[in-house]
Amino acid sequence: MSETAEKVKKIVVEHLGVDEAKVTEDASFIDDLGADSLDTVELVMAFEEAFGVEIPDDAAEKITTVKDAIAYIESQKG
Amino acid sequence: MFPNGAAPRRVVVTGMGIASPLGLGVEHVWKRLLAGESGISAIQAFDVTELPAKIAGQVPAGTKATGGLDLNEWIPVKDQKKMDRFIQLALVAAAEAVEDSGWLPEEEEDRAATGVMIGSGIGGLTTIYDASQLVASGRARRLSPFFIPSALINLASGHVSIRYGFKGPNHSVVTACATGVHALGDAARLIAFGDAEVMVAGGAEAAVCELGMAGFCASRALSTAFNDTPEAASRPWSEDRDGFVMGEGAGVCVLEEYEHAKNRGAKIYAEVIGYGMSGDAHHITAPPEDGSGAFRSMRAALRSAGVAPEQVQYVNAHGTSTFADDVELGAVERLWGDAASGLAMSSTKSAIGHLLGAAGAVEGIFSILAIRDQVAPPTLNLDRPSRETPIDRVAKVAQERKIKVALSNSFGFGGTNASIVFRAVP
């Protein structure tokens, strides 16, 4: 697992209070991990803070799974 | 207003919960209160160097087993950051009250007949302070999406309703230090009017923070002369009292229509028989010297209860440890007249400080317990009163007394006054 993936999963576990095993790359924040729309806003902010990237609203809307988040962050760090 | 021209319905108290500077749990807190213990201590959670008042009544950390607060025992970690401390304290007190009442309905109809009315004087002050600093430092985009719902006062009622599925009236009171009594009284009236069968009602406050302390210091309301002896600082009616002591906490009651409670075999603590309100129309922070606002509030409560002053044996005073203590005392003396000598009146703020919007709810619970246990809780630190009175102010030591009817007062900034009357249910 990449360093980014590990960090993303750790943030998801902390913010959503879910079991680490449930945070697979395909897991959807809302459908699988019990997040609501405000949770996902906060989650994106946490990613921004942790990785020093900026995620504009239109990009944030498309980040619905763990995999989406990892891919977006890696593309920005590029 | 009454459905089908019916008469008002009777309302009883079937559950109670407290989070206070004397700890968590009604029985634990009551025991300590009767023992004359104080919940006032030095503030250590933040820097008080710049503040003239350095003490407060703070909900002690601990566990359920020790009567202290460990939030993780009450609220999932991921939800804690979505709510200011006043909401957290409301949830803690509500959980105790609801469990105590045994009213955890599963049926849709029962849930729709159960409402919530928990108020606060100030709301999420710590949350607002932290968010303001973030915005002021040019980081507005970093503001949490939970900022607004964390700070809003009616979110205490909202969170309680969400947790238990209570789908009846969802309301909230904001009348400064009168909030707690207004919430209990208004909620009782909703039941009396038929808007709900059960109401979870009370007040919560968590303003022991930099902004809250600085604000009340600025209005010259707080005690500053007893920073080295915190337990002596809240001294209602004392000659050398010099202001109130800030406190935090929450008090919540489960109020229920009498027949509803009886039919399900609920334990009944007391009946809410009277409720009165008034406005001073005088000054933003001070009562009129003649105590006319307090007088009219208590008179209205006794009228609605249909009892004469001499039928009331205990008054839980607003008694904040300020000049206004004697104003309230004068009003009680005038209303009770010759019956004043048979009355016990104490200020339990002497032990826990002033819980602002939670005060009336917590003190209402103390009044109910005074009826249950036939004992008047003490007024601590009352060695030298600023003036004498025929009323027994229960100085320093709790007193066994015959108490059938009790009245509790709460008065707030803005000149808002509320009084509530309870009686034993045979």
Supply the pLDDT for residue B3.
67
- Least CB-CB distance to A42: which of B76, B79, B146? B146
pTM of the entire predicted model:
0.96
User: What is the DSSP pairing of strand B198-205 with strand B114-119?
Assistant: parallel
* Catalytic entry in B159, B171, B177, B253: B177
| Catalytic annotation present for B171 | no
In chain B, % helix, strand, coil (3-state, to 5) comes to 40, 20, 40
User: What per-residue confidence (pLDDT) applies to B284?
Assistant: 95
Helix axes B210-218, B125-136, angle to 10 degrees: 100
ipTM rounded to 2 decimals? 0.86
Q: Give the model's pLDDT for residue B201.
A: 99
pLDDT tens digits, one per residue of B211-227: 999 999 999 999 999 99
Q: A-chain residues within 8 Å CB-CB of B83?
A: none
**Nearest chain B residue (CA) to A16:** B78
pLDDT tens digits for A45-77?
999 999 999 999 999 999 999 999 999 999 997
Chain A interface mutation, best of B72, B78, B79, highest count of A Cβ atoms under 10 Å: B78
What residues of chain B, 77 to 106, have a C-beta less than 8 Å from chain A? 77-79, 82
Query: Is residue B159 flagged as an active site residue?
Result: no
Rounded to whole angstroms, the Cα distance separating B184 from B364 reads 8
Q: What is the pLDDT of residues B127-172, one digit of tens each?
A: 999 999 999 999 999 999 999 999 999 999 999 999 999 999 999 9
Helices (H), B13-137: 26-34, 77-80, 85-101, 108-112, 125-136
How far does the CA of residue B79 sit from the closest CA of chain A (Å)?
9
The token pair that represents B221 in the structure block: 């309301």
Contacts of B142 in chain A (CB under 8 A): 45, 49
Say yes or no for a CB contact (<8 Å) between A17 and B77: yes
CA distance B60 to B38: 12
Q: For residue B79, list chain A residues with Cβ-Cβ distance below 8 A.
A: 17
Token pair belonging to A55? 């995620």
Question: Region B227-249: what's the mean pLDDT?
Answer: 98
CA B288 to chain centroid, in Å, comes to 23
What is the predicted pLDDT for the residue at B4? 63
For position B335, what pLDDT does the model report? 98
Q: What is the pLDDT of residue A78?
A: 60
B144 at interface of A, judged by CB pairs closer than 8 A? yes
